[in-house]
Chain A
Amino acid sequence: MLLPEYRSKELLAKYGVPIPPGFLARSSNDAETLCARLNTSRYVVKSQILAGGRGLAGGVKIVDTPSAVGAEVERLLGHVLVTDQTGPRGEIVQSVYVEAALDIVDNFYLALALDSATGGVMLLASEKGGVEFEERARMDDTVYGTTIIGEDTPEERKKIKAFLSEHGMGEDAVVDLAFAARKGFIENELTLAEVNPLAKTRRGDWIAADAKAALDPNAVFRHPEFEEFAHLQHRDAIEAEAQANDINMVKLDGTIGVVVNGAGLGLAMHDMIIEAKGRPANFMDIRTTATSLKIAKGVQLLLSDPNVRCILLNVHGGGITLGDTVAEGVSVAYGHAKRKVPLVARISGQNADRGLAILKEHRLPVEVVDTMSDAVARAIALAS
């Protein structure tokens, strides 16, 4: 669960990571007045969306006067920002953060994540921080280095300082910053804490010019102060509603509504549809805890999407999610739907026969197929 920049910085600053002075602007008038607090002559006005790529998309502006800050806040609030990471629909800017601009001489990169091999806290560092870092790191993994950062002890400090020196950051201030971030990372159960860029200023200070913190969504219940950010995670009201019904859904822009149990089976189906030149309207994974009523909610969301021309149901019954449980859910959804688009059903595993019988009893416009390949071929034919 990603936190917006301002909240990520606030979190890290609480543990001693230096950040520029700034404030959250809810209106342009507010912003102009609050500028006096920053005691600067250059301001950075930053859209608080969760996706990256803000700078290149015009979501970050540097200006010289409080009235220009006000004008930028006015322009950005409520604006839909489309970046290379938001998808075509973009994200609405709901808040704007204003900071004193830094006099930066060099940009570095510092991040913490959990090391999946050992469970230790992994420190990532690079002297090539800044907006192109991720792109560069994808191409060339020698751009950054990693090490495990343990408890704050004199020996561990020595080790971390040596590691940071290899990446141009071998100063005590950065060692302090790394251990401060580590404390915040562990206490808040983060899955990622990223400072990019970590700016070195002309005065020689090290300051987190931008920061990103991600909380473990499965641990938010232990950190209720962040619950207010949960609703920001879904770009889409439909995805949020599906989630509330134990269904993981990612909305896409195709014509085939896909209903699958299990993430892996869903991904397998998704690959097959795309490779057969079909266009899925969604990715769906019905969690094992979903009841038929919850499944019905998920299918209703697909049936109410005017782009959806057919529904492809692929279920492998087993454990608690049995074939008939899913079939009941689908039948309920069709019962309530105004548009009853054709349904291609492929149910295997436990209670498959009962599931298929339920679909037929409810007189759904169903075609039953035996294999996943056949299911994909029929769905594509019906959706075109």
Chain B
Amino acid sequence: MAIIVDNSTKVLVQGMTGRAGSFYTHQAMRYGTTYVAGVNPFKPGTEHLGLPVFGSVDEAKAKTGANASLVIVPAVKAGAAMIEAIEAEIGVITCVTERVPQHDMARVKAALEGSKSVLIGPNSQGILTPEQCKIGVMPTRYALPGRIGIASRAASLTSEVVSQCSAAGLGQSTTVGIGGDSLHGLGFVDCLKLFKDDADTDAVILIGEMGGREEEDAAEYLATGDYGKPVVALIVGRHAPQGRRMGHAGTLSVFGTGSATAKADLLQRAGAVIAGNVDDVVPRIKTVLPNAAVA
């Protein structure tokens, strides 16, 4: 088992015929994920990478039974693409596009409200259940099936943590990139709840950074009761200069609140174990899971 995606997931790609769309669809298919269709309003009826291309998400879903979508279109079109997938009632929508205008995301958030969809991203590396389903742009070579759940705001940092975990024999149940933008879909609390209920996840790693409220909300949630599984948190940006924008758009906060140190303190008080730096994550997991089955 895993969370959100597994080997029953059937993926359609909005933007499959583009350069990045082709590259990542091909990679994910080679990894063994079931991709069933592409969507391009200008190329209905054609074929790409051996898959049928439809004019709309609705049609692609009806003809192929797709239950997930990868949105990999230019930023200016990403908002409309996500809304199209929400309206077609696609269960899992993953958007990897960077630099999506925030007011477009505001409309996407409104469309998500009360919908049947879960949104991952945008500006996310996507979601990976090792050896079952890859929707996104993350490398898979160093991913290993296992029992650690990971939720993260930063892509390359997650790849680093994943490869260190795998090298130590600590495989992953599912790795979710919630994305680096301030307005996004699924959050840390959603991921924590899903991992809590997942019988095949023994511990959770949260990878956060300064800015936003994801870590604060996670701390509040963890503090409300017995989570039942160990949580290790790595929060980066402790020494980022105040008020400067370093990388992710979500890291510019209105009131300068949300420092990495304050977030780590809150999470620690809520029962999470704090990793001092990247190289400290695996040792911390080994402390909280002394009997972790090493794959």
Q: A138-B255, A270-B239, A275-B277 are in contact. Are A261 and B156 (CB under 8 A)?
A: yes
B158 closest partner in A (C-beta): A264
With a CB–CB cut-off of 8 A, which chain B residues contact A114? 102-103, 106, 182-183
Instruction: For the complex, count residues of A whose C-beta is within 8 A of B.
Output: 59
Any chain B CB within 8 A of the CB of A371?
yes
CB distance A250 to B254 under 8 Å?
Answer: no
CB distance B102 to A219 under 8 Å?
Answer: yes
Q: A118-B113, A119-B108, A350-B139 are in contact. Are A85 and B157 (CB under 8 A)?
A: no
B76 closest partner in A (C-beta): A221
What are 26 A-B pairs at a CB distance below 8 A?
A: A114-B182, A119-B107, A124-B254, A141-B257, A189-B102, A218-B101, A219-B102, A250-B245, A250-B246, A252-B241, A261-B156, A262-B154, A263-B180, A264-B154, A270-B237, A270-B239, A270-B246, A271-B236, A275-B239, A316-B157, A318-B137, A318-B139, A321-B156, A348-B160, A372-B160, A372-B279
Any chain A CB within 8 A of the CB of B30?
no
Top 10 A-B residue pairs of the complex, sorted by shortest distance between their CB atoms: A264-B154, A263-B247, A262-B156, A119-B109, A318-B139, A264-B157, A119-B106, A219-B101, A274-B239, A267-B236
With a CB–CB cut-off of 8 A, which chain A residues contact B102? 114, 189, 191, 216, 218-219
Any chain B CB within 8 A of the CB of A178?
no
Interface residues of A in 65-116 (CB under 8 A from B): 85, 87, 111, 113-114, 116
Q: A218-B101, A267-B246, A270-B239 are in contact. Are A318 and B213 (CB under 8 A)?
A: no
Q: A111-B254, A119-B109, A218-B101 are in contact. Are A267 and B209 (CB under 8 A)?
A: yes
CB distance B156 to A265 under 8 Å?
Answer: yes
Contact with A along B222-259 (1 / 0, CB 8 A): 00000000000010111111011111111100111100
Assembly CA distance A271 to B163 (angstroms): 20
Tell me the interface secondary structure of chain A in the complex: mixed
Cross-chain contact of A320 among B23, B182, B210, B240 (Cβ < 8 A): B23
With a CB–CB cut-off of 8 A, which chain B residues contact A283? 240, 246-247
Any chain B CB within 8 A of the CB of A304?
no
With a CB–CB cut-off of 8 A, which chain A residues contact B100? 218
A116 closest partner in B (C-beta): B182
B156, B237, B248, B256 pick with most chain A CB within 10 angstroms:
B156
With a CB–CB cut-off of 8 A, which chain A residues contact B154? 262-265, 267
Assembly CA distance A365 to B277 (angstroms): 28
A134, A137, A318 pick with most chain B CB within 10 angstroms:
A318
CB distance A316 to B156 under 8 Å?
Answer: yes
Q: A138-B257, A216-B102 are in contact. Are A250 and B159 (CB under 8 A)?
A: no
Any chain A CB within 8 A of the CB of B194?
no
With a CB–CB cut-off of 8 A, which chain A residues contact B213? 116-117
Any chain B CB within 8 A of the CB of A48?
no
With a CB–CB cut-off of 8 A, which chain B residues contact A191? 102
CB distance B246 to A116 under 8 Å?
Answer: no
Contact with B along A343-358 (1 / 0, CB 8 A): 0000011100000000
B153, B209, B260 pick with most chain A CB within 10 angstroms:
B209
Interface residues of B in 110-144 (CB under 8 A from A): 110, 113, 125, 137-139, 141-142
Q: Shortest distance in angstroms between A349's beta carbon and chain B's nearest beta carbon?
A: 6
Q: Shortest distance in angstroms between A296's beta carbon and chain B's nearest beta carbon?
A: 19
With a CB–CB cut-off of 8 A, which chain B residues contact A134? 255-256
With a CB–CB cut-off of 8 A, which chain A residues contact B103? 114, 186, 189, 216, 219
CB distance A192 to B254 under 8 Å?
Answer: yes
Assembly CA distance A51 to B137 (angstroms): 37
Q: Shortest distance in angstroms between B157's beta carbon and chain A's nearest beta carbon?
A: 3
With a CB–CB cut-off of 8 A, which chain A residues contact B245? 248, 250
Q: Shortest distance in angstroms between A66's beta carbon and chain B's nearest beta carbon?
A: 36
CB distance A319 to B153 under 8 Å?
Answer: no
CB distance A262 to B183 under 8 Å?
Answer: no
Any chain A CB within 8 A of the CB of B26?
no
A373 closest partner in B (C-beta): B279
Assembly CA distance A114 to B255 (angstroms): 13
Cross-chain contact of B137 among A141, A266, A319 (Cβ < 8 A): A319
Contact with A along B188-230 (1 / 0, CB 8 A): 0000000000000000000101101100000000000000000
With a CB–CB cut-off of 8 A, which chain B residues contact A285? 246-247
With a CB–CB cut-off of 8 A, which chain A residues contact B156? 260-262, 264-265, 316, 318, 321
Q: A268-B236, A372-B279 are in contact. Are A317 and B139 (CB under 8 A)?
A: yes
Assembly CA distance A352 to B238 (angstroms): 28
With a CB–CB cut-off of 8 A, which chain B residues contact A218? 75, 99-102, 249
Interface residues of A in 116-172 (CB under 8 A from B): 116-121, 124, 134, 137-138, 141
Assembly CA distance A317 to B137 (angstroms): 12
